[in-house]
């Protein structure tokens, strides 16, 4: 098991008080996780010792940062069990990764009459790029529903799959309900129907062990800032055969082999998809996040979040006027979204913030899901390695106080 109280000491930002002396309780890691000192040190060490542009220079600093850049790619490939490190593409984040697939694979392979299968659990990042693709090509979007308890409706999924389905874009874990989807089964079913699968792993890779080879994943997207790392960098994992066949999305430096007045030839993988100067320092620091997560252990992280989510469910239910959204904690990640009778999520969040408890309110970039749930907004508490049962107690106390205040 993981000792969250001890781990919390590794996170300087969590040691402070806010609003003039209220201890901070950070329950918004699904938006962005905080960084341990080791990651902060790595970022600073990189900038003070090895920083230079990568794949361009002819000097020691550039050679060193280029070598570390490629080592980072290898570390990430090993972390998600990719067969080849050039199947790991650095992007700006999950959003950048999904847009790359939609623009590159999508524009090359989708046409009018084709279908794109999405689920009602998706974040806007895994909706809009497909809506834009549909606008460009005339393809139709189909929506897989959820069950009443917020799980993916596999029967509906199967009924929507057909020979017209060319791409399935599905989250591995909902950022609102926390629901884990059966990603392996979805991938199998989609492959049987001849479709390619894009898995949004933004809320999965930081919280559980993900093996892209076992999943037989075609494309997977995730972001460093949700896994204890810096913002500005994310990953597109793609199967070599798919990436090889895809045209580059962004044009610019690094992604070319030869350029002439008449045109250009593209570089091989992975450079083909990495036009322009990348997020050098964040990429070089990425392995320090992986080291930290590995040391804690992905199994331990998943179990710890499950225990916190279960405890939060129990305590919220005991308050009485709370409607918890989504499935039983056994089927979900460390995300608990809820509404409180007669109290708007924004008012609730404001009242909690005054007590030092940081949670999120709103549609969480998942408007179709909220519409499906019959609400416009919810409050969301999300947990990570540094959260303790005491944090949950403080959340519950703060909600009880807010309810009293507004009643």
- Binding residues for ligand PLP, rule: CB under 6 A, are 31, 93-95, 123, 125-126, 171, 175, 200, 202-203, 223, 234
* Cα distance between residue 256 and residue 373, in whole Å: 47
* Cα distance between residue 48 and residue 39, in whole Å: 14
CB nearer to ligand PLP: give 97 or 352: 97
Output the CA torsion sign for 100, 105, 108, 111: negative
CB nearer to ligand PLP: give 33 or 50: 33
Characterize 316-333 residue by residue with b for buried, 16 or more Cβ atoms within 10 angstroms of its Cβ, and e for exposed. beeeeebebbbbebebbb
- Smallest distance from ligand PLP to CB 331, Å: 16
DSSP, collapsed to helix, strand or coil, labels residue 332 as: strand
* Cα distance between residue 351 and residue 356, in whole Å: 9
CB nearer to ligand PLP: give 62 or 231: 231
| 365 part of the active site | yes
CB nearer to ligand PLP: give 139 or 170: 170
Pairing of strands 378-382, 360-362: antiparallel
The answer to whether the beta carbons of residues 330 and 350 sit under 8 Å apart is: no
* Cα distance between residue 186 and residue 184, in whole Å: 5
- Smallest distance from ligand PLP to CB 394, Å: 24
CB nearer to ligand PLP: give 230 or 234: 234
- Smallest distance from ligand PLP to CB 206, Å: 10
* Cα distance between residue 112 and residue 188, in whole Å: 25
- Smallest distance from ligand PLP to CB 58, Å: 34
* Cα distance between residue 196 and residue 256, in whole Å: 27
- Smallest distance from ligand PLP to CB 99, Å: 9
For 180, the token pair is 């884990």
CA distances from 140 to 2, 123, 161, 365 (A): 46, 19, 13, 22
**Catalytic residue (one of 144, 170, 289, 365):** 365
The answer to whether the beta carbons of residues 171 and 139 sit under 8 Å apart is: no
Q: Which residues pair with 378 in a beta bridge?
A: 362
- Smallest distance from ligand PLP to CB 200, Å: 5
Residue 29 makes CB contacts below 8 A (sequence gap 6+) with: 226, 334, 382, 383, 384, 387
CB nearer to ligand PLP: give 123 or 166: 123
* Cα distance between residue 118 and residue 320, in whole Å: 35
CB nearer to ligand PLP: give 65 or 181: 181
Pairing of strands 219-223, 196-200: parallel
- Smallest distance from ligand PLP to CB 33, Å: 11
Longest Cα pair distance anywhere in the chain, in angstroms?
Answer: 71
CB nearer to ligand PLP: give 333 or 403: 333
- For residue 333, say if its preceding peptide bond is cis, omega within 30 degrees of 0: no
The set of catalytic residues is 365
């Amino acid at each position: 098991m993981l000792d969250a109280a001890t781990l919390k000491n590794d996170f300087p930002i969590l040691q402070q008080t806010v609003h003039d002396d209220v201890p901070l309780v950070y329950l918004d890691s699904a938006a962005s996780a905080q960084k341990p000192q080791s990651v902060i040190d790595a970022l600073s060490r990189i900038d003070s010792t090895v920083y230079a542009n990568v794949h361009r220079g002819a000097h020691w600093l550039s050679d060193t940062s280029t070598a570390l850049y490629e080592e980072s790619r290898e570390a990430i490939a090993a972390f998600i069990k990719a067969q080849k490190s050039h199947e790991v593409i650095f992007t700006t984040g999950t959003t950048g990764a999904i847009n790359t697939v939609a623009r590159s694979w999508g524009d090359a392979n989708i046409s009018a009459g084709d279908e794109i299968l999405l689920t009602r659990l998706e974040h806007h990042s895994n909706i809009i790029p497909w809506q834009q693709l549909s606008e460009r090509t005339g393809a139709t979007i189909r929506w897989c529903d959820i069950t009443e308890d917020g799980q993916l409706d596999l029967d509906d999924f199967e009924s929507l799959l057909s020979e017209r389905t060319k791409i399935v874009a599905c989250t591995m874990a909902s950022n609102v309900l926390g629901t884990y989807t059966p990603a392996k089964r979805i991938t199998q079913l989609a492959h049987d129907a001849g479709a390619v699968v894009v898995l949004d792993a933004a809320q999965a890779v930081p919280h559980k062990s993900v093996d892209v080879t076992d999943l037989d994943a075609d494309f997977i997207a995730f972001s460093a800032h949700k896994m204890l790392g810096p913002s500005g960098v994310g990953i597109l994992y793609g199967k070599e055969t798919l990436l090889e066949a895809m045209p580059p999305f962004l044009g610019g430096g690094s992604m070319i082999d030869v350029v002439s007045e008449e045109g250009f030839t593209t570089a091989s993988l992975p450079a083909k998809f990495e036009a322009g100067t990348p997020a050098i320092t964040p990429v070089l620091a990425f392995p320090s996040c992986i080291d930290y997560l590995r040391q804690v252990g992905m199994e331990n992280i998943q179990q710890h979040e499950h225990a916190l989510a279960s405890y939060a469910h129990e305590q919220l239910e005991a308050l009485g006027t709370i409607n918890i959204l989504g499935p039983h904690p056994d089927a979900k990640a460390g995300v608990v979204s809820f509404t409180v009778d007669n109290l708007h999520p924004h008012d609730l969040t404001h009242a909690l913030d005054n007590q030092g408890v940081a949670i999120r309110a709103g549609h969480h970039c998942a408007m179709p899901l909220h519409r499906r749930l019959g609400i416009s907004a919810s409050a969301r508490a999300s947990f990570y390695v540094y959260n303790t049962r005491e944090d949950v107690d403080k959340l519950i106390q703060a909600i009880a106080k807010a309810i009293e205040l507004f009643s």
